[in-house]
C-alpha cells in the first residue's frame, strides 16, 4: 500500500508511521529526515535547504519530489511505503500522482491526523526540549503551523474528492490512534482484495 499521512507538525505522524511500518512491512519515507540529512552536508544545496528550514518554510516542491522519487526507485519501495510529511502542497501531491502513474501505481489511502493547535504547540515545545531540536522554537512552531494551514491543509479537500481521505482523532492516546488507523487500513486492504 502507498499511504500518505497528513497532519500538522506534532500531530504524531512519525510515531504512527513507525507502527504501521511494522504492521504492513513497508518502509517509511520521512521527507523531514531526508531534508535534515541533506541540510547536514557541507554543500551549496545544503545551505539552501537550511535557509528554508531554519525560517520554518517548506523546501521547494521540485527539490522534495526529486529526493522522494530517488527513494521510491529503491527496491524496498516497490510494494508501497508510508509518506510521512509528504506531500505538503497541492503541487507535490500532483507530482506524486504523476510519478506513481508512470510506475503503474496509485495512492491507496490518506490518513489525516487531527489535533488542536494549542495541543500541537505544547507537544512541539516538549519535543524540542527532549530531543534538543533547535528548529522547534516558539516562533518557528507558529510559523510552521501557519504554513501547514496555508499550504498543506488544502490537501484534505484534494484527497477527499478522490475518496482517499480518512480523518483520525490525533488527541487520543497513541495506542488508540493506532487502533483507528489499523481498522481503516484493514478495511482498505479488504476492499482492494475484492478489486474495489
Mean predicted lDDT score pLDDT of the chain:
89
Residue 69 to residues 31, 72, 83, 88, Cα–Cα distance (Å)? 11, 5, 12, 15
- pLDDT per residue as tens digits for the range 148-196: 899 888 999 999 999 999 999 999 999 999 999 999 999 999 988 776 5
For the chain, give the longest Cα–Cα distance: 50
The whole domain housing 96 covers 2-193
Report the CATH number that the domain containing residue 106 is assigned in CATH: 3.40.50.300
* 125 vs 106: CA distance, rounded Å: 36
The Cα 191–Cα 196 span in angstroms is: 5
Work out the percent of the chain whose per-residue pLDDT is above 90: 55
Render 152-177 in DSSP notation, one character per residue. Answer: ITTHHHHHHTTT-EEEEETTS-HHHH
**How many domains are contained in the chain?**
1
Percent of the chain with pLDDT over 70: 97
Q: Which three cell numbers stand for residue 130?
A: 527532549
**CA 136, CA 141: separation in Å to the nearest integer?**
6
pTM of the predicted protein model: 0.84
**Residue 2, pLDDT score:** 95
Active site residues per annotation: 13, 88, 127, 133, 144
> Tens digit of pLDDT for each residue in 50-84?
887 777 777 788 888 988 898 899 999 999 999 98
- Condensed to tens digits (0 to 9), the pLDDT of residues 122-158 reads 999 998 889 887 777 888 899 889 988 998 889 999 9
Q: Which residue has the higher pLDDT, 44 or 5?
A: 5
Res. 119: pLDDT tops 90: yes
Top-confidence residue, 11 or 57: 11
Amino acid at each position: 500500500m502507498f499511504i500518505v499521512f497528513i497532519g500538522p507538525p506534532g500531530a504524531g505522524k512519525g510515531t504512527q508511521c513507525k507502527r504501521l511500518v511494522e504492521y504492513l512491512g513497508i518502509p517509511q519515507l520521512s521527507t523531514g529526515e531526508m531534508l535534515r540529512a541533506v541540510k547536514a552536508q557541507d554543500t551549496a544545496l545544503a545551505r539552501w535547504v537550511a535557509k528554508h528550514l531554519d525560517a520554518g518554510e517548506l523546501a521547494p516542491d521540485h527539490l522534495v519530489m526529486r529526493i522522494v522519487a530517488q527513494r521510491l526507485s529503491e527496491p524496498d519501495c516497490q510494494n508501497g511505503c508510508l509518506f510521512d510529511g509528504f506531500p505538503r502542497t497541492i503541487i507535490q501531491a500532483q507530482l506524486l500522482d504523476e510519478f506513481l502513474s508512470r510506475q503503474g501505481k496509485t495512492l491507496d489511502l490518506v490518513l489525516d491526523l487531527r489535533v488542536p493547535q494549542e495541543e500541537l504547540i505544547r507537544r512541539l515545545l516538549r519535543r524540542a526540549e527532549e530531543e534538543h531540536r533547535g528548529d522547534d522554537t516558539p516562533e518557528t512552531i507558529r510559523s510552521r503551523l501557519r504554513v501547514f494551514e496555508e499550504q498543506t491543509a488544502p490537501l484534505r479537500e484534494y484527497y477527499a474528492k478522490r475518496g482517499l481521505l480518512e480523518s483520525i482523532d490525533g488527541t487520543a492516546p497513541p495506542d488508540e490512534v493506532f487502533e483507528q488507523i489499523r481498522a481503516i487500513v484493514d478495511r482498505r486492504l479488504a476492499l482492494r482484495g475484492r478489486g474495489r
